[in-house]
Amino acid sequence: MKDFPVLCLQAQGLGLRQFRRVYDLEVNVTEQARFPYVLITNSASVINKASSLSPTGIHRGKGITTFLADHQFDKVFSSLSEIGDEFGLVQANDLKYNHADGELARVFDHIK
């Protein structure tokens, strides 16, 4: 049996008669969230750094690089900033496209 880390939360609330009650909630944490990113840059060094941050690799096309990372935006941004080259980074929480050719659709479908 695999042992998963447990997240324990405690909440206090007031009942109907203003009694203090304490509720404990345990949630098994089975998988860390992966965040989708869109990177715009011509810098091979920045693209290589993004690739090292992504457990699933990167996809490139039409000057756009997409990747998934296990880190929040600020950590990814600061890691890429260490390179010192020009780039733009977008965390893509909702992604749609219209009339995309095969190359562009492949790049965006990587992070959907």
Q: 3-state DSSP call for residue 20?
A: strand
pLDDT band at 94 (very low <50, low <70, confident <90, very high): confident
Does residue 30 fall inside a structural domain?
Answer: no
Burial of 66 (0-12, 13-18, 19+ CB in 10 A): buried
**pLDDT per position as a tens digit, 47-86:** 999 999 999 999 998 889 999 999 999 999 999 999 989 9
Other Cβ atoms less than 10 A from the Cβ of 41: the count is 19
State the CATH number of the domain containing residue 90.
Answer: 3.30.70
C-alpha 111/C-alpha 108 separation (Å) is 6
Q: What integer best gives the mean pLDDT of the chain?
A: 77
Other Cβ atoms less than 10 A from the Cβ of 32: the count is 8
Domain count for the chain: 1
| Helix axes 73-81 and 44-53, enclosed angle (nearest 10) | 140
The pLDDT > 70 percentage for the chain reads 68
Average pLDDT for residues 91-100, to the nearest whole number?
76
Query: Residue 98's domain spans which residues?
Result: 35-109
Does residue 2 fall inside a structural domain?
Answer: no
C-alpha 74/C-alpha 107 separation (Å) is 23
Report field, pTM of the whole predicted structure over 0.85: no
